[in-house]
Amino acid sequence: MSRKVVIWLVWLALCFGLAGMLGYEMFVQEQKPNFVIGDATHGHHQIELSCDTCHTSPFGGEEVIHDACLGCHQEELKSAHDSHPIKKFTDPRNADRLEKINAVSCVTCHGEHKQDRTFAMGVTLPDDFCYECHADIAENRPSHEGMGFETCASAGCHNYHDNRALYEDFLLANSEGDKVKAVAMVLERTGTDALERKEALTINDADAKSASPEHLKEWAASIHADAGVNCTSCHEPQGQPWQDDPGLAACNSCHENEEKGFLLGKHGMKLAEGLGKMSPATGRQIFHDDADLTGLDCSSCHDAHNPAPQIAAVEACTSCHNDIHTQNYATSPHADLWKKEQSGELPEGSGVSCATCHMPREVHKEFGEEVVRVQHNQSMNLRPNEKMIRTVCMSCHSLAFSLDALADPALIESNFNGLPAQHIPSIEMVLKRDAR
């Protein structure tokens, strides 16, 4: 056999081998690293190897990606009372605006795998895009004369999808108030219904098939035992055989709302897409070198046998996160209040933990009654940070102080140890307009 023939055979074998490998990855494997065309945004990088999450059809175009966006974010936009809903632009009176910017498609503003031109909030348009529809804003709002359109989305000003913190009636109604309210408390959480109907258990009631004396003692003193949740309730979920590490399936039977929120946030979104658990090693934040690398689930923050919320509210967060904001929490005014609450010097609900701000308590209507649940999607109010104003900041502070504080990057980095160094004049602007 000639050398040329051998070279051709080797070349063909390599081509077929490569084609087979790529074909297997494309059509069989869940993760497809060789087909990722560029780094994903900060919000999606954990699921970038699960192409099918967004590319639900191999033959679809922009409309397929748009539908995938809504699949994850539609509920969030509803709760935000989206100020630029699609129906606004399907109105014939706004048809001329679509010629400038196609606002009925998510991917017009949010394109993935384009890190070289991705701005805050995953926006891939130039940050003066508001100009396309609001070029004449200074004519209607003289107070905006001279303002650059690239400043519209600055903290304390406008948010494309949720402008509730800047609605004029809201600004007027909350134009007064002390920096810190005389009574500053968070809402009292409503217990889980499934846990309220059972009698408390003691260590003698334990039906464990495999447990150490230490675990039994912890369980007997826990809120689970107090709520009548026995060992098999978690370790034999849905009638399955005994499991030493039952995972999410056990928690879901009583904590469905909490699990839903967890899977929507960055802590759980990877797990929700069948890609395994998120771990600090796969995150883009700054973490401790010795942070747990086994992956996040409910038990990462809540000790299954001693699910004390105090541990999940601070210690679980600071044991992983090591950015400057987190480092400064321990010496912040918020942490001082939290320590005093835990020691009994201040009433319950007056302290400020990590969870107070990043996992706020929300009021929901269930069967005609108002209940207070903890939002377990810890990403819900992170960006833009003005989303914290209604659900978090104004529990303790005035609207004016909240706007200024969230617009000060240095103050945020110090974990709010001090006063804002800049001022957002939104309230003054609307008061002046209202006085005319």
Domain ranges of the chain: 36-140
Q: Helix axis angle, 399-406 relative to 426-434, nearest 10°? A: 140
Structure tokens at 180: 């810190």
According to the model, what pLDDT value does residue 29 have? 67
Mean per-residue pLDDT for 387-391? 89
- φ, ψ for residue 128 (rounded to 5)? -105, 25
356, 277, 271: which is closest to 309 by C-alpha? 356
Give the E-state strand segments of 77-228 in sequence order.
Answer: none
List Cα–Cα distances, 193 to 197, 227, 251, in angstroms. Answer: 7, 10, 14
pLDDT, position 245:
83
Residue 372 bridge partners (DSSP): 363
Q: Looking at 18-32, 123-137, 289-303, 382-396, which range is the least confident one?
A: 18-32
The CA-atom distances, in angstroms, between 191 and each of 118, 229, 248 are 42, 14, 19
Q: State which amino acid sits at residue 356.
A: T
What lies within 8 Å, CB to CB, of 1 at 6+ separation is none
Q: What is the pLDDT of residue 436?
A: 67
pLDDT, tens only, 279-333 = 887 788 899 988 876 788 998 898 878 777 788 999 999 999 999 999 999 999 9
Q: Which pLDDT band holds residue 346 (cuts at 50, 70, 90)?
A: very high
CA separation for the pair 229, 235 (Å, rounded)? 11
d(CA 428, CA 403): 12
| pLDDT at res. 99 | 86
What pLDDT is attached to residue 191?
Answer: 64
Q: What is the mean pLDDT of residues 256-285?
A: 88
Mean pLDDT computed over 40-55:
85
pLDDT at residue 1, rounded to an integer: 65
Q: How confident is the model at residue 197 (pLDDT cuts 50, 70, 90)?
A: low
Q: Write down the mean pLDDT value for the chain.
A: 87
| pLDDT at site 375 | 93
**Most confident region among 2-6, 15-19, 266-270, 351-355 by mean pLDDT:** 351-355
Q: Residue 196: what pLDDT? A: 54
Main-chain dihedrals φ then ψ at residue 321, nearest 5 degrees: -75, 135
d(CA 369, CA 366): 5
Lowest-confidence region among 63-72, 173-182, 284-293, 409-418? 284-293
Of 324, 321, 330, 315, the residue nearest 287 (C-alpha): 321
Percent of the chain with pLDDT over 90: 38
Percent of the chain with pLDDT over 70: 95
DSSP 149-176: GGGTTSTTS--SS--GGG-HHHHHHTS-
Candidates 310, 305, 317, 228; CA nearest to 266 is: 317
Q: Distance (Å, rounded) from C-alpha 377 to C-alpha 75? A: 12
- The pLDDT value given to residue 331: 97
CB contact at 8 A, 354 and 317: yes
Q: What is the mean pLDDT of residues 182-190?
A: 85
Q: What is the pLDDT of residue 310?
A: 82
| Torsion sign across C-alpha atoms 291, 293, 294, 297 | positive
What is the rounded CA–CA span in Å between residue 337 and residue 56? 48
Kindly report, residue by residue over 141-170, the tens digit of the pLDDT. Answer: 888 888 999 888 876 688 889 887 778 889
| The two three-digit tokens of residue 225, written as one number | 């035992």
pLDDT, residue 356, reads 96
Burial of 177 (0-12, 13-18, 19+ CB in 10 A): middle
| pLDDT reading at 347 higher than 70 | yes
pLDDT of residue 405: 95
Task: Give, as one character, the DSSP assignment of residue 364.
Answer: E
CB-based contact 203:216 (threshold 8 Å): yes
pLDDT tens digit string along 122-141?
899 998 999 999 999 999 88
Cα first-last separation, the chain: 95
Strand partners, 362: 373
Instruction: Give dist(CA 30, CA 19) in Å, integer.
Output: 17
- Tell me the mean pLDDT in the region 54-70: 87
**Residues shown for the chain:** 436
Q: What is the CA radius of gyration of the chain?
A: 26
369 pLDDT band (50/70/90 cuts)?
confident
Higher-pLDDT residue of 353 and 169 is: 353
Contact yes or no for 222/405 (Cβ under 8 A): no
pLDDT exceeds cutoff 60 at 193: no
Give the pLDDT confidence score for residue 153 in this predicted structure.
Answer: 80
